[in-house]
Structure 1
Amino acid sequence: MPRPKIKWDYLAKKIADKEGTGFGNDYRPWIKLERWNTSKVSTQCTKSIPPLSRASHFLSLSEYNLALAFAWAGAEIREQFPIWPWDHPHPECGRNVAIDRFLPHAMGTNNICEVIGITPGVYPGTNIPFIWSMDMCLHLPWVKDPLKSSAMISVKPVSQVSTDQGISLSRVSEKLEIERNYCKVIGMHYIWGDDDAFPKALFANLDNFRGSAVIPVHHPANRIMQAFLDKHAHKLQDEAIEFTQLVLQQDYKCNQDTSTLIQNHLLWHQVIDVNLAETLVARRIPKAGGRELIAKIRRILEGHHGEE
């Protein structure tokens, strides 16, 4: 499929199709991975991020890794989220209609450019204003104040390869400044960085466990897991990781798939406090630290990363 030509009718159709809008499984990313927008310098992927079942579109491995970490910490993720050139409702508008009137209106990026002295972007060969996208727009459900329960994420590697979207590398710093000011206007926390902030082992573990994060309501594993926890939960912290699987197979007659599903579900949700930032060894008693790491990630997303 060739790269589409950017015309007003093309953008109008994307907007009419509600791309860049919605919440949870109903969200439709503004940028989707297609054959025409593959990258030669980054690993792109479409994978589901718990607890959502829809496929998410990530323009780099760093994006995917961070999305896993943020979801593990409890954030809801909307990737490739558009920040429109014209004035528009707050990104969280529509999630809870009872609080929509308290959310500040968002200034369009063209107006922001005018205020901070940056030339607004246009699609190459046209006079159509460029529609920038944030790598991730996060909802933080554990934060009770609706004015502070969201954050925008800009992942550095994506900015560096943004020529895939027709943006010259010379504009990367301007793009970050536009994003920062956009978030400042609406009072949303803005984070810029990449996945080097976390150990690679964390992402490997989360990727391995993500398929077990959600067990369907009617799956028999739920009943078995509850019976297992009723009897053994109090001692799991002092047992080797493989204890869960061994007991499930011996005492509850689970097959390999079901015992693995339950074990990994408990690890993802930190029912057993396990430091997933380290390589896990099944025969060893796990080192605690996962719950502390989740709390740290949450503080970062809330804008308290400078605090201990």
Structure 2
Amino acid sequence: MTTDRRLAGRWFRLPDHYEVGREKIREFAGAVQNDHPVHRDDDSARKLGYLGLVAPPTFTAIQTVSGIRAVLNAVFPDRDLSQVLHAEQTIEMHRAIVAGDRLRSAVTITSIRSPADTDFVALRFVVTDQSGCVIRVESTTIAVRQGQQVRSDIARLAETVARHGDGDRTPRLIPITAAAQPQVATAGPYRGPDVDTVPRADRLAVGDVLPPRTARLTRGDLVNYAGVAGDPNPIHFSDAAARFAGLPTVVAHGMLTMGLTAGYLASWLGDPTAIRKFGVRFTRSAEVDAEAAVELELSGHIQAIRPDADAATVALDVRAAGARLFSRAFAEVQLSSNSSRR
């Protein structure tokens, strides 16, 4: 099997920028069930100090999935898409993404490990805005099973959710020089208006529990997310592809369950822009039967508090049929203090 390990450590960029549209924000928020009004109502966004609709916390999954596909095309050109699973994802947020932003993505392959029969590929994405400022730093690990070549029938299944009519849209990478690498170290602190959260730092204690919530996912939700996020992996909509990958049935996207969890956290906070860092380690995928929705049970608790910085770390838990989807899930959040409360 072909694996080009020479690409590890090098930086690349995606060939084009991504322009954030207000309707795309609404569409993505609906797909990940993020119901905060700043994602759909201009007046609500302005009340928080933003000039346009605010994108959900996991919105850059649209770019990340293109970057992952481009890396796979370059490193594993003969590997089947259905053999790819998301292992870990961490998002550092340096400012909110709003309608009208023009985003560019750079990516480096930080490592390729191959224990047993799986290749683990660690990636680092840096997303910059129209001014060249870093607004997201994302660490991603994907697991690619060895020994499976691309099957034509699985490739055709993937094409059923791909866009048509606009030419060759296969993601590709463009090498960039060391001088052009994004300067993450100079990203600085979070940039944006003060947060306006419901929980306040001075009224929380370690061990406090977030109100639990139940979310539902259907096959229709999975197909919708695949189209909105541009993720054509057929294990999320085809039983045949799922069985080929060794799965009992179709499973939900890891980034979809992560997006639902971000929405749950944002509902508790009352301000989605209060999430500063969000990370998960995927243990298993939520199985979604063709005839019934799967119910996800979301919960969380306060793991640590930094009263000097009005900040807290929240441990999160998501379960389907009693089984944990994440072996680890956490968020670092900024909180309103007495003095900053509006």
TM-score by length of 2: 0.24
Structure with a larger share of its residues in strand:
2
Q: Larger RCO: Structure 1 or Structure 2 (Cα < 8 Å, ≥ 6 residues apart)?
A: 2
Greater share of helix residues, 1 or 2?
A: 1
